[in-house]
Structure 1
Amino acid sequence: MTLQNSRALYKNKQNIILGPSNPESIFQYRYFTVVIDKNNKKVLVNKPRDFQSNKQHINEKVDQILNQRKMEKGIIRLDRNNYAYQIFTDQFGQKNIVFLNTTLIYAHSWTLLRLAILLGFTALIIFAIILIIASGLAIRPIAEAYHKQQQFITNAGHELKTPLAIISANTEMEEMLGNESEWTKNTKEQTQRLTELINHLIALGRMSETGEIALSKINLSKIVESASRSFSSVMKQKDLTFKTKIQKDIFVSAEEKTLTELVNIFLDNAQKYCDPHGEVSIDLHKNKWNNNASLIISNTYAEGKNIDYSKFFDRFYREDKSHNNKKSGFGIGLSMARDLVHTFKGKIKVEYHGDMISFIISLKTLK
């Protein structure tokens, strides 16, 4: 390719890899020498092939360099390219000025760098695509096994309900026939506990299977008020102080039955684990900082100082490692409550201050 063809090809073009157009980029190096004899005559030697710079223009640049007596080397601009020059005197006493095109050298380095970046990004994208496909194939059996597990829990729960209902009915019949005893009472209590466990497991299984709940505008204040009235008799029966502070007409995006279950879980947990003759409180208000609905349910719990609260929402977690029946429950209520809060795109946390344990739920409000 000649320089003329290169000029026509690169005219007003810029390549993403090669960079700005430069007709001389077809050459690896471009250099020439100007010899100045004792008679101050300038002779161009080592002239590059297809060199198009005007001789008069070169002579002007040489004169400009010679006028700078103290400068033995430097850089000049010639034909849209930077040329580094150096002056030395040969054995015949003639001055030699050697010119080297540095624009080409730097351009080749930048071209290599841009090419490396482009290849790197291309390889990264290809690797990401392969990783996504491979991870999808690898995780598919796990996802299918998890889905089958959830289906089994739901189906097994429904199958277990029938024999439990029969056991409960037979026990009640025995009591009606005058055979009530400590054993029949204990059987009824354990049957009720198993029924609650199965209901929780079925609810968790359904949530995992569907993964979606139809959300709508719900009056959280009314739900909290209703739940508080339902638990007030339980609090009195257990001789617990029950305090309520509920701000009116706070609306959130949720599902009514699920939100009611959420509030009931925390109130039931509070009355179960509250210290004897202790205090249970429920506070609902709008947060002044972010305008979110803040629901705080607290109860006295003197033994809560040295508890690891980071595991409180783990499924089947019980702080009582002996698994005795002193406190009824299976360790899945709080786990389900956390999942419900996340379904409503809310946040939940637990805090402990001054012998009081508090569950704080934050939900976005609607106008």
Structure 2
Amino acid sequence: MQVIKQLKVKFVYSMIFIEMFVFATILLTLNVTITRRESNETKEFLVFLANNNGHSPRPRLFNDKMIPRQKQNELLMDIDATSSASRERPEDFLHTITDVFRIERTSQANLRNYFSVKVNSDNSIMELIQDFPLNYTNDEINHLVKEIRKSGKKHGSLSGVSFYIRDLRGNQQLICMVNRNSELKTLSKLYTYSTLLYLFSIIVSVLISIPISNYMIRPAEDAFIKQKQFIADASHELKTPIAVIGANIDVLESEIKGNKWLDYIKTENKRMGELVRDLLYLAKNDAGRNELTFCDFDFSNAVENSVLPFEVVAFEAGKTLEFDIEKGLTCNGDEKSLKQIFIILVDNALKNSEEGAHITVRAYAEGQKIIYKVRNTGAGIPKEELEKIFLRFYRSDSSRVRKTGGCGLGLAIARAIATDHDGTLIAESELGEWAEFTLAIPKKR
């Protein structure tokens, strides 16, 4: 069932990643577009101010009737000749002519808090150009001018104020400025709301992805469960005929002495029995039906009891087997299954090493973990196969299949047992030199 869990996790992660990417793209595009548009509009307005000697474009006056150009000029001259009071409150003056004229503003930029200054090369202000009262003091304006001139830029932003510089005659410059604090606050709120929306979308994605993944994976999960159940049932059913064949072979051996054909049948029947046993273990493990008994036991003693019988096997094969087992190691786990790992790794080292090989078994504590290592000299394992050897039925060297026996399930079983104990089993090797397997399990679960 571990495969199904991993598949669900990957499916959820994939959906969340896709949704995060889509939302991020949409919100980022929206924010960048709005920011650039506002910045471009500000720059266009500043350029217009600079080209219009620091003044905003004059409002267009018109009525439903055609007004001669001369009359229009006279009206504009009247507006220019109004008192300063009328200039400060132009709506009072315009109100008097609303029965004849309407005002049309071509851009909302006219509503910005803007002003312009003409400066000399020594930063002294020659003229302050404004179309309405400002919220800046003279000291603040002088400070802005100095900072803008100091930056050396023709266009940019400083302290919430966007500026544009136009060169005039006589080393003079016209600096047009727009207060963008309100726009920046609006953009800041936009970014904040976008971030909150993005975080909310992630939460929603997680909540939606989990049930969807369960729904999408359910057919595969059902098929997987049926497959594992079939393997378990088939393996269980095969145990009986294999046992019967073995019993019949024993009877025939008592009647027919030294028959090589019976020896072949007995060897293959034994191999088939081991294969069925291993398949049954893996099938039960996949289905979560392996019953493990976790308790404290003497890890050092378990290693010695499992490995010592291999001394005779190693001696007969012309190999050296050495032990370096720390005394008094205790572990919380299933002693029977862990002994199976000890046996699998030593047996694997003996089978996959040449005559004269040196095999070392070590067990020691490292922090809160217990380490069990089996190292053998010999041909080693190619780096690209260090993970593949833990796959079921995988054999690094197919020529050894008949020579050493086995069916390539031992390491798969060993890793499954290590995973059941919240541990790890890894392989390391130097091709042509050595190979080493390391089991690391916690002392306490």
- The reply to whether TM is greater than 0.5 is yes
Deviation >6 Å, runs of 4+: 39-43, 58-62, 66-74
Residues 262-301 of structure 1 mapped to structure 2, 5 A cutoff: 262-287=341-366, 290=367, 292-301=369-378
Instruction: Give 1:1-367 correspondences, 5 Å limit.
Output: 44-45=88-89, 64-65=137-138, 102-210=180-288, 213-287=292-366, 290=367, 292-302=369-379, 304=381, 308-321=385-398, 324-353=401-430, 355-366=433-444
CA distance in 1, matches of 2:312, 2:189: 81
Q: For 1:4-58, what per-residue CA distance to the aligned partner results, in whole angstroms no more than 9, with x for missing partners?
A: xxxxxxxxxxxxxxxxxxxxxxxxxxxxxxxxx9x9999852589xxxxxxxxx9
Output the aligned Cα RMSD: 3.9
Aligned residue for 2:281, secondary structure, equals: helix
Per the alignment, in what secondary structure is the counterpart of residue 253 of structure 1? Answer: strand
Q: Indicate if the aligned counterparts of 1:316 and 1:332 stay in contact, CA closer than 8 A.
A: yes
Could you report, residue by residue, the CA deviation over 1:216-266 in whole angstroms, capped at 9, with x for unpaired residues? 323211110101223223223333322111101112232111111111111
Say which SS state the counterpart of residue 243 (structure 1) adopts.
strand
Deviations 1:342-363 (A, max 9, x none): 2212222222247322111122
CA contact under 8 A between 1:304 and 1:355: conserved in structure 2?
no
The CA distance in 2 between the partners of 1:332 and 1:221, in whole Å, is 26
Q: C-alpha separation between the residues in 2 aligned to 1:270 and 1:70?
A: 81
Would the aligned equivalents of 1:283 and 1:296 in 2 still touch at CA under 8 Å?
A: yes
Distance 1:247 1:43 in 2: 97
Structure 1: any 5+ residue segments left out of the alignment?
1-36, 49-57, 75-81, 85-98
Contact 1:278 1:300 in 2 (8 A): yes
Alpha-carbon shift at residue 107 of structure 1 (Å): 2.8
| Kept in 2: contact 1:147–1:209 (CA 8 A) | yes
Structure 2 counterpart of 1:283, one-letter code: R
Count matched residues.
302
Query: Does the CA contact (< 8 Å) of 1:307 and 1:319 recur in 2?
Result: no
Q: Note the C-alpha offset of 1:161.
A: 0.9
Distance 1:194 1:110, change over 3 A: same
More helix by share: 2
Tell me: CA distance 1:247–1:101, structure 2 relative to 1, closer, same or farther (3 Å). Answer: same
State the shift of 1:67 in Å. Answer: 10
What SS does the aligned partner of 2:332 have? strand
Query: 1:13 corresponds to which residue?
Result: none
One-letter identity of the residue aligned with 1:105: E
* CA distances 1:93-142 after superposition (whole Å, capped 9, x unpaired): xxxxxx98754333322233233333333333333333322221111111
Q: Distance in 2 between matches of 1:294 and 1:325?
A: 32
Deviation at 1:211, TM superposition (A): 6.8
Q: What secondary structure is seen at the aligned counterpart in 2 of 1:286?
A: strand
Gaps of 5+ in 2: 1-80, 93-131, 148-159, 163-176
Distance 2:368 2:332 in 1: 14
